[in-house]
């Protein structure tokens, strides 16, 4: 599987500010995704990061709150805008379409642990 | 430490015993299933997958069983070890979709 890194690994932020999370893969991948994992809960898909076009957001998530970029096949960013304490979560990127692997298998980065005060 | 899994159902097993973790999925159109393991402070780690044209698949110390009739998926871990302690999630992929829908998760605790 590919090496997937995320920056920062954790952060503590003040409400009203924004944080940009980076996801870097060491090989080109077809699909990149962003998930949120709230404390004690499962993973919820925020959006699919599309290379060269606007991200595709899931119900309940909007571009103004979670702008996403994907400038190439190995890198994506997720911004959490105008943060509130309810945004405190683990944010995870995942990738799909690795060479030699099943088409649908997603591999995850280590996550970014965000605490909003 | 972080709070992933604090409110999840917990399975406690003795080291060396076999573990069975169950998952019910919702959509009969789902055709691909994955089990992930998430240790504290880490992202989910791929364990094993299975397609809907199979009912059993084996890996190293792990077996996944799929019962499409009752929409049930299970993960069997043989000779459970302390390193198996983690939260386990099942995920389903629906026909021709890249989206993964995750189950609620089960915490596995291995007693020494």
CB contact, 8 Å: B1 with chain A? Answer: no
Q: Among B3, B43, B103, whose Cβ lies nearest the Cβ of A40?
A: B3
> How far is the first Cα of chain A from the last one, in angstroms, to the nearest whole number?
36
Ramachandran class of B71: left when φ > 0, alpha when ψ lies in -120 to 50, beta otherwise: left
pLDDT-derived band at A84 (thresholds 50, 70, 90) equals very high
Q: Among A42, A90, A107, whose Cβ lies nearest the Cβ of B103?
A: A42
Residue A43, helix vs strand vs coil: strand
Q: How far is B69 from chain A (nearest CA, A)?
A: 23
pLDDT score of A10 more than 90: yes
CB contact, 8 Å: B33 with chain A? Answer: no
Please report the pLDDT score of residue B2 as a whole number.
Answer: 40
CB-facing half-sphere around the CA of B11: CA atoms within 13 A: 22
pLDDT-derived band at A1 (thresholds 50, 70, 90) equals low
pLDDT score of B5 more than 50: no
pLDDT tens-digit readout, A44-74 = 999 999 888 899 999 999 999 999 999 999 9
Average of per-residue pLDDT values in chain A: 92
3-state helix, strand, coil in chain B (%, to 5): 5, 55, 45
Nearest of B99, B74, B86, B83 to residue B24 by alpha carbon: B74
CB contact, 8 Å: B105 with chain A? Answer: yes
Domain boundaries, chain B: 24-111
Q: Which domains does chain A have, with CATH numbers?
A: 4-116 (2.60.40.10)
Please report the pLDDT score of residue A101 as a whole number.
Answer: 62
Which of A22-26, B7-11, B23-27 is least confident?
A: B7-11
CATH class of B24-111: mainly beta
CB contact, 8 Å: B54 with chain A? Answer: no
Do B70 and B100 meet the contact criterion of CB atoms below 8 Å apart?
A: no
């Amino acid at each position: 599987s590919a090496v997937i890194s995320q920056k920062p690994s954790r952060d503590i932020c003040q409400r009203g500010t924004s944080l940009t999370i980076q996801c870097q893969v060491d090989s080109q991948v077809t699909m990149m995704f962003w998930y949120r994992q709230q404390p004690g809960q499962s993973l919820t898909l925020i959006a699919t990061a599309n290379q060269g076009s606007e991200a595709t957001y899931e119900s309940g998530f909007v571009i103004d709150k979670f702008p996403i970029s994907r400038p190439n096949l190995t890198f994506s960013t997720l911004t959490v805008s105008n943060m509130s304490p309810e945004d405190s979560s683990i944010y995870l990127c995942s990738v799909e379409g690795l060479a030699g692997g099943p088409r649908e298998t997603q591999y995850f980065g280590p996550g970014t642990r965000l605490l909003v005060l | 430490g972080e709070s992933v899994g604090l409110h999840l159902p917990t399975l406690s097993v003795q080291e060396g015993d076999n573990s069975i973790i169950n998952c019910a999925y919702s959509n009969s159109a789902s055709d691909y299933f994955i089990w992930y393991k998430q240790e504290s402070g880490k992202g989910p780690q791929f364990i094993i997958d299975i397609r809907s044209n199979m009912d059993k698949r084996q890996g190293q110390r792990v077996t996944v069983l799929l019962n499409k009739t009752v929409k049930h998926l299970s993960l069997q871990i043989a000779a459970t070890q302390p390193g198996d302690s983690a939260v386990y999630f099942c995920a389903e992929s629906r026909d021709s979709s890249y989206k993964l829908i995750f189950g609620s998760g089960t915490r596995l605790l291995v007693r020494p």
